[in-house]
Amino acid sequence: MAVEQVPQEKSQHGRPCIGSASPDRETDAATARLKNPLIEKYLKQLVKKGLFGRPYVKDYLYGLKRRNCRPNTIRIYGATLMVFLSYLKDQGRTYLETITRDDLSGFIEHEQDRGMQPKTVSTRLRLLYAFVNYLVDREVMHPRSAEEEDTGQGARGAAPSHGSGRCPTAPGRYQKVP
């Protein structure tokens, strides 16, 4: 039996493409058959903590699973999204559409105040940029929502300023955002 490898479709930014325009019943039907205990754990925590954005988090995490991401990758994304959504709730946000660059900057400072290592903060920021890009691709957020002009100074100088239109793609590497 021959196994044929299918190339993964990439977007214009080099990131893998993710399914449909928004989470819908088709996604729910597909995931109902293939429930993942790790993802379901995070979804239950979202409900338990009264956090918003569950359909998008569900679609995003199952998208990672469909792209054959390792369980630890899904775990890191899930944990990061939980912490970020909890932070947003504490800040009085109630919708994903209202996320701004200031929210991301405030979250970075919050994580530094908690004593997180710079590498951890950088990783979480990269993961959040990936999630925000997912939301933009799904037209949940406007592309400029998270790209508002900032002062050019990162929180405590540990995280680089991205006001210049550059987004992190990997530790120490940046790509120009069109």
**For the chain, what is the mean pLDDT?**
75
Determine, yes or no, domain membership for 47. Answer: yes
Distance separating alpha carbons of residues 75 and 140, to the nearest angstrom: 24
Determine, yes or no, domain membership for 119. Answer: yes
**How many CB atoms within 10 Å of residue 127?**
18
Q: Which domain holds residue 30?
A: 25-146
> Which residues are CB-neighbours of 145 under 8 A, at least 6 positions away?
97, 99, 100, 101, 136
Domain count, the chain: 1
Determine, yes or no, domain membership for 124. Answer: yes
Tokens read off for 107: 């979250």
Determine, yes or no, domain membership for 90. Answer: yes
Determine, yes or no, domain membership for 33. Answer: yes
Determine, yes or no, domain membership for 70. Answer: yes
| CATH number of the domain enclosing 36 | 1.10.150
Q: Residue 32 pLDDT > 70, yes or no?
A: no
pLDDT of residue 71: 94
pLDDT of residue 27: 53
In sequence order, what DSSP letters do the residues of 108-142 get, joined into one string? HHHHHHTT--HHHHHHHHHHHHHHHHHHHHTTSS-
Determine, yes or no, domain membership for 168. Answer: no
Determine, yes or no, domain membership for 175. Answer: no
Q: Could you read off the pLDDT of 128-163 as tens digits, one per residue?
A: 999 999 999 998 887 776 554 444 444 333 333 333
pLDDT of residue 158: 38
Phi then psi for residue 53, to 5 deg, are: 85, 15
Q: Could you read off the pLDDT of 42-99 as tens digits, one per residue?
A: 999 999 999 999 999 999 999 999 999 999 999 999 999 999 999 999 999 888 888 8
Tokens read off for 121: 């903060």
Average pLDDT over residues 105-131: 95
